[in-house]
Amino acid sequence: MMILVTGGLGYIGSHTVVELLGNGFEVVIVDDLSNSEKFILENIEEVSGKKFTFYPFDLKKKELLSQVFQAHNIGGCIHFAAHKSVGESQEMPLKYYENNLFTLIHLLQEFKDRELSNFIFSSSCTVYGQAEHMPIKEDTPLKVPKSAYGKTKQMGEEILKDFARAYDKKVSILRYFNPIGAHPSGKLGELPVGIPNNLVPYITQTAAGLREFLSIWGNDYPTPDGTAIRDYIYVVDLAKAHVAALKKLLACEENKVIDIFNLGTGRGVSVLEMVKIYEKANNVNVPYRICERRSGDITLAYADVRKAQKEMGWRSETTMEEALKTTWNWQSYLNTKD
C-alpha cells in the first residue's frame, strides 16, 4: 500500500518513513525542506535499504498536491508537516494558522473528493495544558493552549473529528509527549534551526561545545528537585507507534473511526535528572545555569499509555540511557558534515 507522508524528511517523519518501509509499505514524501536538509533523503534510503518517491513543495500549493494524488494510488496519510516553534508562533501567529491549518484542510479535501480514508495526525500533549491529575489520559479535559502553535494542534483535532463524522472516515490522532533521540545508525535525528527549543538537542549541543551552557528555566517548581518534569519518548519507539496506528486503521472494518492515543513512556523525568542521565550515558559534562521560569511552561506532564498498549499492542521499549546515547552518535555524525 502507498502511504503519503507529509513532512517526511523531518525529525519524526524520517524515522517513521524508515519504519513504514521496513513494514512493507510504499511511501510518497511531500516536504518543502523548511525544517530539514536534503541529505536526509539519501540517509533514509541508506538506513532502510528501500526506495521511495519524494516531492519538494509546500502543501499550501493545492494544485501540486492534487497532482500527487493523481499520480499515486494513495491508501493513507501520516501528516507531520507543520511549523512547530512555540515561541515563533507567538510572534507570527498568522504564519502558523495559515500553514498548519490550510495544509491540513487541503489534504482532507483530497481525501474527501477521492473517497480516501486512513488519516493519521501528528498532535501534541500541549492540548492538555497543565492537567490536574497524573498520568494524563486521553479523556483528560483539554485546555486552550497558550501558544498559537498549540492552538493549531487543538483546532486540527477538531477539524479531523468533524471530517471523520461527516464523511465516514477513519482517523487516528496521536498526541506526542516529548520525542528524543536519534536512529541507532546515527544517520537520522533532530535538526534544530538556530538555538534549540527542545531540551535534549540543547543538552547535546552544550555537551559538544556548540553552546556555552544549558539554560534551565526555573528550579522553584513544586517537584522533588525544583525543575519541571516531562515524559520523554524515544523517537524510534514513537515512529513504530505510527505504523501500529496505521495497521489498526487499515484492519478496522468500520467506516467512521476517531482514534485518539497518548504516546509517551508513562514516566516523568525532571530537567536536572535528564542532564545527569545524559552525562552518565555519554560520559560528558553539561554545564548549566538556572534562569527564571519561562511564561507558559507547565510543571508536570506524563502520559497514561495503557490505551495504546491495549488497543494498538504498542509500548515504548527503549530506556532513557539508550535513547540519549543515540543523540551523541547523531551529533558526532553532524560534526563530520560541517
d(C-alpha 135, C-alpha 300), whole Å: 10
d(C-alpha 245, C-alpha 171), whole Å: 10
Residue 33: which residues within 8 A CB-CB, separation 6 or more? 9, 56
Instruction: Report the C-alpha dihedral over residues 19, 322, 266, 48, rounded to 10 degrees.
Output: 0
Burial of 151 (0-12, 13-18, 19+ CB in 10 A): buried
**Strand runs (DSSP E) across the chain, as ranges?**
2-6, 26-30, 53-55, 74-79, 119-124, 170-176, 178-180, 214-217, 229-230, 232-234, 257-263, 269-270, 288-291
d(C-alpha 65, C-alpha 72), whole Å: 11
Are 14 and 240 within 8 A, CB to CB? Answer: no
| Residue 66 amino acid letter | S
- Give me the catalytic one of 11, 149, 176, 278: 149
Tell me how far CA of residue 48 lies from CA of 44, 147, 261, 276, in angstroms.
6, 36, 27, 33
Tell me how far CA of residue 95 lies from CA of 64, 70, 88, 98, in angstroms.
20, 28, 9, 5
* Residue 242, CA atoms < 13 Å, CB-side half-sphere: 32
- Does residue 232 carry a catalytic annotation? no
Active site residues: 149
